[in-house]
Amino acid sequence: AQSVTQPDIHITVSEGASLELRCNYSYGATPYLFWYVQSPGQGLQLLLKYFSGDTLVQGIKGFEAEFKRSQSSFNLRKPSVHWSDAAEYFCAVGSSGGSYIPTFGRGTSLIVHP
């Protein structure tokens, strides 16, 4: 069965600092990977996705993520965080063939200090 681990429940950064949110997955074949962001009181919005090809994926709002098969990781990065990036971030993995239901991590809450 597939699973997703987001090791950090909360992350605090200063505005302007760089950010890396960790995501580790467990899946036998090549996974389909997603990062979503949830602003307070809102639903989830897709930031970026990885299906195949280039392992460095660019997303919206200046985010990027790198797929590392050897480490079973898909970490989300941003070079300079803005106060508006404060939100909950979810990593998800989808399977190939048979099931189109993604498995979500429990989320990482990003706090941005001025």
Partner 1 sequence: DVKVTQSSRYLVKRTGEKVFLECVQDMDHENMFWYRQDPGLGLRLIYFSYDVKMKEKGDIPEGYSVSREKKERFSLILESASTNQTSMYLCASSSLVRARSDNQPQHFGDGTRLSIL
CB of 114 to partner 1, least distance (A): 25
**Residue 30 φ/ψ, nearest 5 degrees:** -70, 120
18 counts as binding partner 1 under rule CB under 8 A: no
User: Residue 9 and residue 21: Cα distance in Å, rounded?
Assistant: 10
Q: Is 40 in the site for partner 1 (CB under 8 A)?
A: no
Of 64, 78, 11, nearest to 33 (Cα)?
Answer: 64
Residue 89 sits in the site that holds partner 1 (CB under 8 A):
no
* Site residues for partner 1 per CB under 8 A: 9, 32, 34, 36, 41-46, 49, 51, 90, 94-102, 104-107
